Amino acid sequence: MQTIQLDTVDSTNKYALAHLDELADRAVVTAEEQTAGRGRLNRIWLSPRGENIYCSIILKEQKNNPLLTILAALAAAQTIRSYGLAARIKWPNDVLVEGKKICGVLAESNSQGLVIGLGVNVNMSAENLAALDQPATSLRAETGQIHDREKFLRELLEKFFALYEQAQNAGFAKLVETWQNEIDLIGKKVKIQTVQQEFYGTVIQVDKAGALLVATAQGVEKVLAGDVHVV
Ligand code: BTN
């Protein structure tokens, strides 16, 4: 596997997108710190030096496909669970432990392929966690131990590529079913916030593309990105 280990970079996703033509399919870009880490919905991803995992996986044969973001979140949740923590996925692809965010996924693409960025709070200090604008945690905060980031990354990538192979061979149906059970939103009344709008409704189901179908007074809305709050 081609691995590019950067010391400091603005964003591993931005770097990967800018270098897609030189990077191999399935290459991975990591960094010790990001000075302008990107989050979903134009947010900032705080990326202090040496504490966490900041990585971008390059899939040159793919376009932006929400199912691959879901796949990444499932791989991260499985890896975190293997450390004895009760990781859950919050729609669409945040990984939480005890209601606090431990991992985020951001997929970005251009004409040359797809980049899946994962940020996992492995050894983030209590002080840096407290500086975040939403409840967050780390493997260290939950277990009281410092963890080997390289080992965690190896395990995460193994799980990611195993699920990816499975999806390439057998399709995404099983993956979507697992994800639908994990997000636990069917039948729930929710508030959806996207970059453009905010609305209330009841979640009917997820479709096979990974979109949330929400019944509202105006009809059924199909939602692929945003934030959800159970009301
Ligand atoms: C989120 O908002 O939940 C998504 C966060 C994604 C952060 C990762 S860290 C590695 C990669 N590079 C970035 O700039 N962002 C992603």
Whether the pLDDT of residue 195 is over 90: the answer is no
Ligand 1 contact, 92 CB (< 6 A): no
Contacts of 30 (CB under 8 A, 6+ apart): 3, 4, 5, 6, 12, 53, 54, 55, 56, 153
Confidence of residue 94 (pLDDT cuts 50, 70, 90): very high
Asked if the model's pLDDT at residue 62 lies above 90, the reply is yes
Q: Distance of CA 40 to CAs 10, 25, 84, 149, Å?
A: 16, 24, 27, 23
Q: What is the pLDDT of residue 83?
A: 98
Contact 2, 23 (CB under 8 A): yes
Cα distance between the two ends of the chain: 44
Would you say 225 and 92 are in contact if contact means Cβ atoms under 8 Å apart?
A: yes
Q: What is the Cα gyration radius of the chain? A: 17
**Mean pLDDT, residues 108-137 taken together:** 96
What CATH superfamily is the domain 3-180? Answer: Bira Bifunctional Protein; Domain 2 (3.30.930.10)
Say whether pTM exceeds 0.75: yes
Tell me, what's the pLDDT at 192?
95
Confidence class for position 158, pLDDT limits 50, 70, 90: very high
Going from the Cα of 95 to the center of ligand 1, the distance in angstroms, rounded, reads 12
Q: Which atom of ligand 1 is nearest to the CA of 103?
A: 3
Where residue 192 falls (left for φ over 0; alpha for ψ -120 to 50; beta otherwise) is beta
User: Between 2.60.40.720, 2.30.30.100, 2.102.10.10, 2.40.37.10, what CATH number should domain 185-230 receive?
Assistant: 2.30.30.100
Confidence label for 67 from pLDDT (cuts 50, 70 and 90): very high
What pLDDT score does 41 carry? Answer: 87
- Atom of ligand 1 at shortest distance to CA of 43? 2
Ligand 1 pocket test, pick from 29, 106, 108 with the greatest ligand atom count within 8 Å of Cβ, gives 106
Residue 196 has pLDDT above 90, yes or no: no
Ranges for all domains in the chain classified under CATH 2.30.30.100: 185-230
User: Phi/psi at 200 (nearest 5 deg)?
Assistant: -110, 155
Domain span(s) for CATH 3.30.930.10 in the chain: 3-180
Sorting pLDDT into bands at 50, 70 and 90, what band is 166? very high
Distance in Å, CA 171 to ligand 1 centroid: 26
15-59 pLDDT per residue, tens: 999 999 999 999 999 999 999 999 998 899 999 999 999 999 999
